[in-house]
Amino acid sequence: MKDQFYSYIENLQDTITSELEKVDGKAKFQEDLWKRAEGGGGRTRVIEDGAIFEKGGVNISKVHGELPEALRKQFKVETGNFFACGLSLVLHPINPFIPTVHANWRYFEMYNEKGEIVTQWFGGGQDLTPYYLFDEDAIHFHTVCKQACDTYHPDFYPKYKETCDTYFWNAHRNEARGLGGLFFDYLKETEDFTMQDRYNFVTEVGNSFLESYVPIVNKRKEHTYNQEHKDWQEVRRGRYVEFNLVHDRGTLFGLKTNGRIESILMSLPPKVQWKYNHHPEKGSEEARLLEVLTKPKDWV
Protein backbone atom coordinates (compact mmCIF):
# COMPACT_ATOMS: atom_id res chain seq x y z
CA MET A 1 0.00 0.00 0.00
CA LYS A 2 2.75 2.48 0.88
CA ASP A 3 4.49 1.92 -2.48
CA GLN A 4 1.19 2.19 -4.33
CA PHE A 5 0.25 5.46 -2.64
CA TYR A 6 3.70 7.04 -2.93
CA SER A 7 3.74 6.28 -6.65
CA TYR A 8 0.32 7.93 -6.90
CA ILE A 9 1.38 11.17 -5.18
CA GLU A 10 4.55 11.35 -7.31
CA ASN A 11 2.37 11.31 -10.42
CA LEU A 12 -0.20 13.66 -8.90
CA GLN A 13 2.49 16.21 -8.05
CA ASP A 14 3.63 16.14 -11.70
CA THR A 15 0.06 16.55 -12.95
CA ILE A 16 -0.81 19.42 -10.60
CA THR A 17 2.41 21.41 -11.05
CA SER A 18 2.27 21.01 -14.83
CA GLU A 19 -1.33 22.29 -14.97
CA LEU A 20 -0.67 25.19 -12.58
CA GLU A 21 2.30 26.34 -14.68
CA LYS A 22 -0.04 26.50 -17.69
CA VAL A 23 -2.58 28.46 -15.67
CA ASP A 24 0.06 30.94 -14.45
CA GLY A 25 1.70 31.36 -17.84
CA LYS A 26 4.82 33.03 -16.43
CA ALA A 27 6.46 31.37 -13.42
CA LYS A 28 7.74 27.80 -13.18
CA PHE A 29 7.98 25.57 -10.12
CA GLN A 30 11.47 25.34 -8.65
CA GLU A 31 12.29 21.84 -7.41
CA ASP A 32 14.15 21.13 -4.20
CA LEU A 33 15.07 17.54 -3.32
CA TRP A 34 15.88 16.94 0.34
CA LYS A 35 16.74 14.10 2.69
CA ARG A 36 15.83 13.53 6.32
CA ALA A 37 18.69 12.39 8.53
CA GLU A 38 16.43 9.96 10.44
CA GLY A 39 15.14 8.37 7.21
CA GLY A 40 13.35 9.42 4.06
CA GLY A 41 13.06 12.75 2.29
CA GLY A 42 10.96 14.70 -0.13
CA ARG A 43 10.50 16.65 -3.34
CA THR A 44 9.45 20.24 -2.71
CA ARG A 45 8.20 22.38 -5.60
CA VAL A 46 7.63 26.08 -5.09
CA ILE A 47 6.29 28.75 -7.44
CA GLU A 48 6.83 32.46 -6.72
CA ASP A 49 6.23 35.86 -8.34
CA GLY A 50 4.13 34.51 -11.17
CA ALA A 51 1.44 36.19 -13.24
CA ILE A 52 -1.27 34.49 -11.13
CA PHE A 53 0.44 32.95 -8.10
CA GLU A 54 2.31 35.16 -5.68
CA LYS A 55 3.55 32.08 -3.86
CA GLY A 56 2.64 28.42 -3.80
CA GLY A 57 4.02 25.00 -3.07
CA VAL A 58 3.17 21.46 -4.08
CA ASN A 59 5.27 19.12 -1.93
CA ILE A 60 5.59 15.38 -1.54
CA SER A 61 7.49 13.54 1.15
CA LYS A 62 8.01 10.08 2.58
CA VAL A 63 9.63 9.69 5.98
CA HIS A 64 10.31 6.65 8.11
CA GLY A 65 12.21 5.48 11.15
CA GLU A 66 11.77 5.32 14.89
CA LEU A 67 8.60 6.92 16.26
CA PRO A 68 9.34 10.47 17.47
CA GLU A 69 8.56 11.16 21.12
CA ALA A 70 5.44 13.14 20.23
CA LEU A 71 4.00 10.14 18.36
CA ARG A 72 4.96 7.66 21.08
CA LYS A 73 2.97 9.76 23.57
CA GLN A 74 0.04 10.07 21.18
CA PHE A 75 -0.17 6.31 20.53
CA LYS A 76 0.75 5.38 24.12
CA VAL A 77 3.64 3.11 23.08
CA GLU A 78 7.21 2.94 24.33
CA THR A 79 8.84 1.89 21.06
CA GLY A 80 7.94 1.45 17.43
CA ASN A 81 8.72 2.45 13.87
CA PHE A 82 6.62 4.32 11.33
CA PHE A 83 6.27 5.24 7.67
CA ALA A 84 4.41 8.32 6.44
CA CYS A 85 4.01 9.85 3.00
CA GLY A 86 1.83 12.54 1.53
CA LEU A 87 1.28 15.44 -0.83
CA SER A 88 0.60 18.89 0.58
CA LEU A 89 -0.16 22.04 -1.38
CA VAL A 90 -1.00 25.68 -0.72
CA LEU A 91 -1.52 28.37 -3.38
CA HIS A 92 -1.61 32.11 -2.62
CA PRO A 93 -2.73 34.08 -5.71
CA ILE A 94 -1.84 37.73 -6.33
CA ASN A 95 -5.37 38.85 -7.22
CA PRO A 96 -7.47 39.20 -4.03
CA PHE A 97 -10.54 38.00 -5.93
CA ILE A 98 -8.93 34.57 -6.45
CA PRO A 99 -9.11 32.45 -3.28
CA THR A 100 -6.23 30.75 -1.54
CA VAL A 101 -6.48 26.97 -1.60
CA HIS A 102 -4.97 24.20 0.51
CA ALA A 103 -5.00 20.43 0.03
CA ASN A 104 -3.32 17.41 1.55
CA TRP A 105 -3.52 13.64 1.04
CA ARG A 106 -1.44 11.33 3.23
CA TYR A 107 -0.84 7.74 4.37
CA PHE A 108 0.62 6.39 7.63
CA GLU A 109 1.81 3.01 8.91
CA MET A 110 3.12 2.00 12.34
CA TYR A 111 5.06 -1.22 13.04
CA ASN A 112 5.82 -3.42 16.03
CA GLU A 113 9.26 -4.77 16.95
CA LYS A 114 8.89 -7.56 14.40
CA GLY A 115 8.27 -5.05 11.61
CA GLU A 116 4.60 -6.02 11.27
CA ILE A 117 2.00 -3.34 10.58
CA VAL A 118 0.01 -2.66 13.75
CA THR A 119 -2.03 0.24 12.37
CA GLN A 120 -2.40 2.11 9.07
CA TRP A 121 -4.63 4.88 7.80
CA PHE A 122 -5.27 7.58 5.21
CA GLY A 123 -6.05 11.24 5.81
CA GLY A 124 -6.45 14.44 3.84
CA GLY A 125 -8.84 16.89 2.26
CA GLN A 126 -9.01 20.24 0.50
CA ASP A 127 -10.39 23.63 1.51
CA LEU A 128 -10.97 27.07 0.02
CA THR A 129 -10.09 30.42 1.61
CA PRO A 130 -11.49 33.41 -0.33
CA TYR A 131 -10.95 37.09 0.47
CA TYR A 132 -14.05 38.17 -1.44
CA LEU A 133 -17.06 35.90 -1.49
CA PHE A 134 -18.58 34.70 -4.76
CA ASP A 135 -21.32 32.24 -3.92
CA GLU A 136 -20.98 30.44 -7.26
CA ASP A 137 -17.29 29.74 -6.54
CA ALA A 138 -18.12 28.20 -3.17
CA ILE A 139 -20.89 26.14 -4.76
CA HIS A 140 -18.55 24.92 -7.51
CA PHE A 141 -15.79 23.90 -5.09
CA HIS A 142 -18.16 22.05 -2.77
CA THR A 143 -20.02 20.41 -5.66
CA VAL A 144 -16.78 18.86 -6.98
CA CYS A 145 -15.93 17.69 -3.44
CA LYS A 146 -19.39 16.16 -3.06
CA GLN A 147 -19.23 14.39 -6.42
CA ALA A 148 -15.91 12.77 -5.48
CA CYS A 149 -17.40 11.59 -2.17
CA ASP A 150 -20.74 10.42 -3.58
CA THR A 151 -18.94 7.89 -5.79
CA TYR A 152 -18.17 5.95 -2.60
CA HIS A 153 -20.83 6.71 0.02
CA PRO A 154 -23.67 9.26 0.40
CA ASP A 155 -22.61 9.98 4.00
CA PHE A 156 -19.00 10.91 3.14
CA TYR A 157 -19.55 14.48 1.92
CA PRO A 158 -21.74 15.74 4.81
CA LYS A 159 -19.51 13.99 7.35
CA TYR A 160 -16.17 15.20 6.00
CA LYS A 161 -17.55 18.66 5.21
CA GLU A 162 -18.62 19.06 8.84
CA THR A 163 -15.24 17.76 10.03
CA CYS A 164 -13.56 20.35 7.81
CA ASP A 165 -15.69 23.20 9.19
CA THR A 166 -14.85 22.10 12.72
CA TYR A 167 -11.14 21.62 12.10
CA PHE A 168 -10.31 24.81 10.17
CA TRP A 169 -11.74 26.99 12.93
CA ASN A 170 -9.76 29.84 14.48
CA ALA A 171 -11.12 29.37 17.99
CA HIS A 172 -9.30 32.45 19.31
CA ARG A 173 -11.13 34.55 16.66
CA ASN A 174 -14.38 32.57 16.73
CA GLU A 175 -14.41 32.32 12.95
CA ALA A 176 -13.58 29.84 10.20
CA ARG A 177 -10.32 30.10 8.26
CA GLY A 178 -12.28 29.84 5.02
CA LEU A 179 -15.27 28.17 3.36
CA GLY A 180 -14.16 24.62 4.14
CA GLY A 181 -14.38 21.64 1.84
CA LEU A 182 -13.35 18.17 2.99
CA PHE A 183 -11.25 16.93 5.91
CA PHE A 184 -10.83 13.30 6.93
CA ASP A 185 -8.32 11.48 9.09
CA TYR A 186 -7.63 7.99 10.45
CA LEU A 187 -9.44 6.24 7.58
CA LYS A 188 -8.70 2.64 8.53
CA GLU A 189 -9.90 -0.78 7.42
CA THR A 190 -13.41 -1.60 8.67
CA GLU A 191 -16.09 -4.20 8.00
CA ASP A 192 -17.39 -1.98 5.19
CA PHE A 193 -14.13 -0.67 3.71
CA THR A 194 -10.83 -2.37 2.90
CA MET A 195 -7.59 -0.36 2.76
CA GLN A 196 -7.85 -0.58 -1.04
CA ASP A 197 -11.31 1.01 -0.78
CA ARG A 198 -9.77 3.78 1.31
CA TYR A 199 -7.00 4.24 -1.25
CA ASN A 200 -9.55 4.44 -4.07
CA PHE A 201 -11.55 7.09 -2.21
CA VAL A 202 -8.56 9.27 -1.28
CA THR A 203 -7.16 9.16 -4.80
CA GLU A 204 -10.60 10.04 -6.21
CA VAL A 205 -10.55 13.18 -4.06
CA GLY A 206 -6.95 13.96 -5.07
CA ASN A 207 -7.81 13.55 -8.75
CA SER A 208 -10.71 16.00 -8.36
CA PHE A 209 -8.55 18.84 -7.01
CA LEU A 210 -7.72 20.63 -10.26
CA GLU A 211 -11.39 20.57 -11.34
CA SER A 212 -12.41 22.06 -7.99
CA TYR A 213 -10.00 25.01 -8.18
CA VAL A 214 -8.70 25.87 -11.67
CA PRO A 215 -12.09 26.98 -13.08
CA ILE A 216 -12.36 29.48 -10.20
CA VAL A 217 -8.89 30.87 -10.97
CA ASN A 218 -9.72 31.24 -14.65
CA LYS A 219 -13.01 32.98 -13.86
CA ARG A 220 -11.46 35.55 -11.46
CA LYS A 221 -7.96 36.16 -12.84
CA GLU A 222 -8.96 39.22 -14.94
CA HIS A 223 -10.93 40.83 -12.09
CA THR A 224 -9.60 44.36 -11.50
CA TYR A 225 -8.55 45.32 -7.97
CA ASN A 226 -7.01 48.22 -6.08
CA GLN A 227 -4.78 48.69 -3.03
CA GLU A 228 -7.75 48.52 -0.63
CA HIS A 229 -8.56 45.05 -1.95
CA LYS A 230 -4.90 44.01 -1.49
CA ASP A 231 -4.86 45.40 2.05
CA TRP A 232 -7.93 43.33 2.96
CA GLN A 233 -6.39 40.24 1.38
CA GLU A 234 -3.24 40.71 3.47
CA VAL A 235 -5.23 41.26 6.69
CA ARG A 236 -7.12 38.02 6.04
CA ARG A 237 -3.88 36.25 5.20
CA GLY A 238 -2.86 37.12 8.75
CA ARG A 239 -5.74 34.95 10.01
CA TYR A 240 -4.46 32.16 7.76
CA VAL A 241 -1.02 32.42 9.38
CA GLU A 242 -2.60 32.43 12.85
CA PHE A 243 -4.43 29.18 12.17
CA ASN A 244 -1.38 27.44 10.75
CA LEU A 245 0.89 28.40 13.63
CA VAL A 246 -1.60 28.08 16.49
CA HIS A 247 -3.95 25.24 15.56
CA ASP A 248 -2.78 23.23 12.54
CA ARG A 249 -1.86 19.68 13.59
CA GLY A 250 0.47 19.09 10.65
CA THR A 251 2.48 22.25 11.31
CA LEU A 252 2.71 21.60 15.04
CA PHE A 253 3.68 17.96 14.43
CA GLY A 254 6.43 19.02 12.04
CA LEU A 255 7.81 21.57 14.49
CA LYS A 256 7.80 19.01 17.34
CA THR A 257 9.45 16.21 15.35
CA ASN A 258 12.43 17.99 13.82
CA GLY A 259 10.67 18.37 10.48
CA ARG A 260 12.12 20.30 7.55
CA ILE A 261 11.30 23.89 8.44
CA GLU A 262 11.23 25.26 4.87
CA SER A 263 8.64 22.65 3.86
CA ILE A 264 6.59 23.15 7.03
CA LEU A 265 6.39 26.93 6.61
CA MET A 266 5.90 26.78 2.84
CA SER A 267 2.18 27.27 3.52
CA LEU A 268 2.65 30.82 4.80
CA PRO A 269 1.86 33.74 2.45
CA PRO A 270 4.64 36.15 1.42
CA LYS A 271 2.95 39.41 2.45
CA VAL A 272 0.68 39.77 5.49
CA GLN A 273 -0.79 42.60 7.59
CA TRP A 274 -1.97 42.70 11.16
CA LYS A 275 -4.01 45.86 11.79
CA TYR A 276 -4.99 46.56 15.37
CA ASN A 277 -8.69 45.90 16.07
CA HIS A 278 -9.54 46.00 12.39
CA HIS A 279 -13.22 45.86 11.36
CA PRO A 280 -14.63 46.28 7.84
CA GLU A 281 -17.39 48.75 7.04
CA LYS A 282 -20.90 47.50 7.78
CA GLY A 283 -22.67 46.33 4.65
CA SER A 284 -19.42 45.98 2.68
CA GLU A 285 -18.30 42.91 0.74
CA GLU A 286 -15.59 42.43 3.34
CA ALA A 287 -18.19 42.39 6.11
CA ARG A 288 -20.31 39.88 4.14
CA LEU A 289 -17.39 37.47 4.05
CA LEU A 290 -16.97 37.70 7.83
CA GLU A 291 -20.65 36.95 8.37
CA VAL A 292 -20.28 33.66 6.49
CA LEU A 293 -17.02 32.80 8.29
CA THR A 294 -18.66 33.10 11.72
CA LYS A 295 -21.31 30.51 10.78
CA PRO A 296 -20.37 27.83 8.23
CA LYS A 297 -23.13 27.20 5.70
CA ASP A 298 -24.17 24.34 3.41
CA TRP A 299 -23.18 25.26 -0.14
CA VAL A 300 -24.69 22.24 -1.91
For residue 72, what are the CA distances in angstroms to 67, 89, 242? Answer: 6, 27, 27
Question: How many degrees, rounded to 5, is the angle at CA 165 between CA 219 and CA 174?
Answer: 105
Give the Å distances, CA to CA, from 81 to 156, 187, 214. Answer: 31, 20, 39
Report in angstroms the alpha-carbon separations of 94 from 31, 99, 113, 288: 21, 9, 50, 21
For the question of residue 102 being annotated catalytic, the response is yes
Measured over the CA atoms of residue 61, residue 66, residue 68 and residue 71, the dihedral's sign is positive
Catalytic hit among 92, 102, 140, 229: 102
Which residue type is seen at 276?
Y
Asked whether 67 and 80 are in contact (CB, 8 A), the reply is yes
The single-letter code of the amino acid at 28 is K
Q: Which residues are catalytic?
A: 102
